[in-house]
Amino acid sequence: MFHDQRIVVVMPAYNAARTLERTVREIPMDIVDEVVVTDDASSDETVAEAKRLGLRTLVHERNRGYGGNQKTCYQEALRLGADVVVMLHPDYQYTPRLIPSMVGLLTDGPFDAVLGSRILGGGALAGGMPRYKYAANRFLTAVQNALCGAKLSEYHTGYRAFTREVLEALPLLENSDDFVFDNQMLAQILHQGFRIGEISCPAAYFEEASSINFSRSFKYGLGVLGVSVQLFLQRLGIARFPIFDPDGRRLAPSTDPPLSS
């Protein structure tokens, strides 16, 4: 508990056996009530490692994609009664030591969602971010800010925290099951008028850290620009899209047992 709020950390995992323990070891369990690992049909020992560490572990029998994995994570967090949910990658690219600060900005501060930004503080390149990814990040973020009417330092971090209210309000089941899910979620948050805060977050790039190749990065870049254009057109009333439908399909705190644990 943190200030009488139930805190759940969710970890969408895919082939994370080599880095999971290192990540979990730094999670501040004095304020975190539950850690959930959702394995997306990994081919390594991620599930066995998560269970060895005593973590609540959900398993997809088939790969559902990064976005599909997050949907399961958030559904389970709501089922567990979370007031605040932190999404942390299990590849140790982002430091878990920022969790108390991120949670505090939600429970005590003015924000509904908090992003761990690799750009704030200027540490992205020092942490090993490839220069082409840094350039693409800055270009995409500038265009997205212009289209979305926001001033975020980046839209592409995988380190995020949300209040329960946000997760219940967004039509997340209308979103893609692929990597563009993250940007669709941010666009939905902006569209609904929730407040987004950012905190400077060092990031590490190394062999075991997850990454997508150039071709998938290019596809992702086109996808996120498409999402921002959709939000722009939606706000102008020129077009309407399912991801912004106020009656769209939402997550609900299921009473069913988890996939497996």
**Cα-Cα-Cα-Cα dihedral sign, residues 160, 50, 7, 102:** negative
255 lies in some domain: no
257 lies in some domain: no
Name the residue with higher pLDDT: 133 or 149: 149
Total of domains in the chain = 1
How far apart CA 192 and CA 211 sit, in angstroms, is 30
Above 60 in pLDDT, residue 96? Answer: yes
Model pLDDT for residues 23-72, shown as the tens digit of each residue: 999 999 999 999 999 999 999 999 999 999 999 999 999 999 999 999 99
261 lies in some domain: no
219 lies in some domain: yes
CATH number at residue 173: 3.90.550.10
256 lies in some domain: no
Q: Contact at 8 Å (CB) between 84 and 5?
A: yes
Q: Which residue in the block uniquely carries the two structure tokens 């009530």?
A: 33
How far apart CA 51 and CA 47 sit, in angstroms, is 6
How far apart CA 98 and CA 3 sit, in angstroms, is 17
Model pLDDT for residues 236-248, shown as the tens digit of each residue: 999 999 999 999 9
145 lies in some domain: yes
39 lies in some domain: yes
DSSP symbol at 258: P
Structure tokens at 168: 């219940």
Domain coverage including residue 190: 7-244
Measure the CA angle with vertex 243, ends 242 and 244; round to 5°.
90
User: Could you give the percent of the chain with pLDDT greater than 70?
Assistant: 93
pLDDT, residue 192, reads 97
Q: Contact at 8 Å (CB) between 26 and 231?
A: no
Above 60 in pLDDT, residue 154? Answer: yes
Q: What does pLDDT average to over the chain? A: 93
How far apart CA 86 and CA 158 sit, in angstroms, is 10
pLDDT, residue 211, reads 58
DSSP symbol at 51: H
Dihedrals phi, psi of 207, to nearest 5 degrees: -55, -40
Q: Helix or strand or coil: residue 61?
A: coil
26 lies in some domain: yes
How far apart CA 140 and CA 24 sit, in angstroms, is 31
How far apart CA 20 and CA 2 sit, in angstroms, is 24
Q: Helix or strand or coil: residue 138?
A: helix
Band (pLDDT 50/70/90 cuts) for residue 261 is low
pLDDT, residue 125, reads 83
